Structure 1
């Protein structure tokens, strides 16, 4: 089961008071339903690919409206061929539900966005966000290369309300067009954790945080290892160049031709070819600093380059 499916399953098992459950159902109807007229009778169909969400919708409709929803299962023919669960109400049952939820006559150009939800009390706003995620939300596994949570909206107005509602909790939500609708999304791991907390997905939150911490530690270790490797490569490359310069001097006139202070560091490098400057300074009893060593090796390089440019005449 994917992380998103686990999160939705957890949300469907939460208990809440009637007002919160009603707002949850309002969001689900707004985001995941269609209303059609068949033989002069309205039909309300709420579709989802998540079986736990379908069960939750069925239970909420029966609990609040004493209706008898019909559940239809069909197989999606594209991509992974997931099952699609449609919870349907027809005729007076559909009209009763839509009117009670404030959506009567709202489907001429798609669901009517419930503007009032932005000014509702905190618990009801959280319930609406929970229903929104159940209806059309998705979240990447916390172990994925990037963090991403999104909620699909069939129209821009409803998407904008979701953005405003989420940002009232400082979630940094954004919206972008997607196929025939819009997606409201979060990209920051910390904000996704905050959202999961808002909608009551505590187990998902803990799993997300655990994985995020481990992932962060692993990335930190990798950065440290990469940094250490880079420093080691830099040290080795510098030592190899220094040895090459020293060999040129050895072959052209011997180290005896060098001033005493340069000959000292050249002989130290020959004895300790793998040492970095700090280690080499310690080998010399701390009499020469790293900066002093670097300066002396630069002088040795200049002398070696001079010998290369002026080879001995035979």
Structure 2
């Protein structure tokens, strides 16, 4: 089960006891995945389609509790791809449908159709903070997804209407979530890409278990990344130490074969003999083996002198 599905399953268990929040969440779900059907006899029915069983149960329960009208669930399998179950929560034609349409903002007070209901969004549905959260929760359940934090950080809600996408983004901005909108074929994608933003969004939606799982995974991921950076840094330093030691030993061997180490000053001879005796030590460790001890800068200075002598010998022998 994907992280996104787990998150939706958790959100599907949240049933607000406030009627205003129930209505806001249903309004979002109907706007995301709903259809209005008008028969030849002007009979009107509503339906919401989802592939998530938990979301279907929630829509059914909210519709029954908020509107108290006959509601049914139809199930069929997809003919293509994964052949998942598809759930259609349907409000069949009945006298109360007109009131439902009005409450959801599809018709005005005089039962006239709101032709562009996205631009004429009923702001009274999201007047309170709790209702804004409920609407965003419904929008996510209807068209949202969130990546597993093991991979790239990404949360999105897609809509087929630009105005509705802007409404969703504005609601997220009310919670200091800097959502952006992009176009993907015929869809408008409201998205967040920073891990902190996604954590805050999950908190706003009410997905607290998903938030904890996200945070735990993120912490482990960042710890692994830090360990990898430290290992890479240590490896790079080790490689530099080895390369420097090889270069120093080659210089000392050239001096020994050409003029002999006895021709060196006592200080340089001491460091040369130490390097030959301890080829694997770092400069700091090499200085600590000397008697008396020599600092890293002192060892480094003498090594540079030995390499300069070797370079002059190379030039002289050409």
**TM value normalised by structure 2:** 0.89
Q: For residues 74-124 of structure 1, what are the alpha-carbon distances to aligned partners after superposition, in whole Å with 9 as ceiling and x for unaligned?
A: 333454343322222343454432222112266756755636269622111
Q: How does 1:214-253 map to 2 (within 5 A)?
A: 214-253=220-259
What is aligned with 1:147? 153
Q: Hey, what's the Cα distance between the residues in 1 that align with 2:113 and 2:247?
A: 77
**C-alpha contact 1:2 1:141 (8 A) present in aligned 2:** yes
- C-alpha separation in 1, matches of 2:264 and 2:128: 84
Q: Is the 2:24–2:126 Cα contact (8 Å) retained in structure 1?
A: no
Q: Distance in 1 between matches of 2:90 and 2:273?
A: 88
Q: Which residue of 1 aligns with 2:99?
A: 96
Cα distance per residue 1:194-240 (max 9 Å; x no partner): 11111111111111111111111121111111111111111111111
- Structure 2: distance between partners of 1:5 and 1:190: 20
Name the counterpart of 2:6: 6
The CA deviation string for residues 274-303 of structure 1, in whole angstroms up to 9 with x for no partner, is 111111121225643222222221221122
Aligned 8 A contact 2:251 2:307 in 1 = yes
Q: Which residue of 2 aligns with 1:20?
A: 21
| Residue 79 to residue 34, structure 1, CA distance change in 2 (3 Å) | same
What is the Cα deviation at residue 44 of structure 1?
Answer: 2.4
Unaligned runs of at least 5 residues, structure 1: none
Which residue, 20, 40, 47 being the options, matches 1:45?
47
1:32 maps to what in 2? Answer: 33
Superposed, 1:117-128 pairs within 5 Å as: 120-128=127-135
Query: For residues 70 and 81 of structure 1, do their structure 2 counterparts lie closer, same or farther at Cα, with a shift above 3 Å needed?
Result: same
Tell me the matched-pair count: 311
TM-score by length of 1: 0.90
Partner secondary structure for residue 55 of structure 1: helix
Per-residue CA distance 1:223-264 (angstroms, 9 max, x = gap): 111111111111111111111111111121221222222222
SS of structure 2 residue aligned to 1:296: helix
Q: Which moved more, 1:36-45 or 1:196-205?
A: 36-45
